[in-house]
Structure 1
Amino acid sequence: MVTLTVNGRRVETDADPTMPLLYLLRDELQLNGAKYGCGVGQCGSCAVLVDGRSSFSCLLPVAALEGREVVTLEGLGAGEKPGSVQAAFIAEQAAQCGYCIPGMIIAVEGLLRRNASPDEAAIREALQPHLCRCGTHARILRAALRVTTPPAASAKLEGSKP
């Protein structure tokens, strides 16, 4: 039996300890924000926060999560009450197909939890292991900058839309 916290809720599971967290989230807890992309930690679509840090859930066995806190995209906000990073992605229309966006949002959220005012280089580094095949990288970067940049500088970003 493994006990962990998912989006503020205590979860006890007797799942196979070698099963990836991604499968527990999607199949048993019906949390579908994290996506299955590559299964080998090279695309970032499965990212979740584990103890506040962005982690690829396709690589994490359930056994490694005993007593740990997991936050998925659903735990950041949704619908009418999106979290600040989610709201920035919406404002910048930073999704085309949207498949990579949950992982991108998680990466930015994880960065902000470690560094409240990251510069563009830090944002690029946090997003580096995440792939977007639709090519919306400029909008994704603008969304990340929107949420990490002071309001006066953020106003300048408004004029830089393509």
Structure 2
Amino acid sequence: MNRKTFFGLSIGAILKVSFAPTFLMALIKPEQKSAGNSNNQQKITLSDNQWQEKLTPAQYHILREEGTERPFSSELNDEKRKGTFVCAGCELPLFKSSMKYDSGTGWPSFYDTIALNIETKKDFKLIIPRTEYHCRRCGGHQGHVFNDGPAPTGKRYCNNGLALKFIPET
């Protein structure tokens, strides 16, 4: 075996090992990727006009145009009751009150999410890349996640208060 053949086989093996899991996961339907995936995650798609009728102008700006509210402006900063924080666009549960903490940033902050109910993407709006997260069901922009949160996750999900509704535990 010459060097060219050896090099080609080596690169092929590395690529196969590196990309095979990703390729196989892409072939699996989303419903098969995770146990417990229910109708709660079925996508909701509305027209811009329908969203504008459903949401306040401020909610529309945050959820549909990826805007940000002023810090310390949300009533949810001081919410301390037991309950669930749901997406203001479609009411998909995103956070339990036990996941909330006071980050001092001026936005409701959580160290974890309810599994499978958010999606993330890279945001370059401030030049420095950040991880933006959205409601999995309606795609509504919630906020950004940072790696400066408390244990056990070390994450800080910094959420716009207007993108959430709080449902108290009964």
TM over 0.5: no
Greater radius of gyration (CA)? 2
Structure richer in helix, relative to its length = 1
Structure richer in strand, relative to its length = 2
TM-score normalized with structure 2 length = 0.27
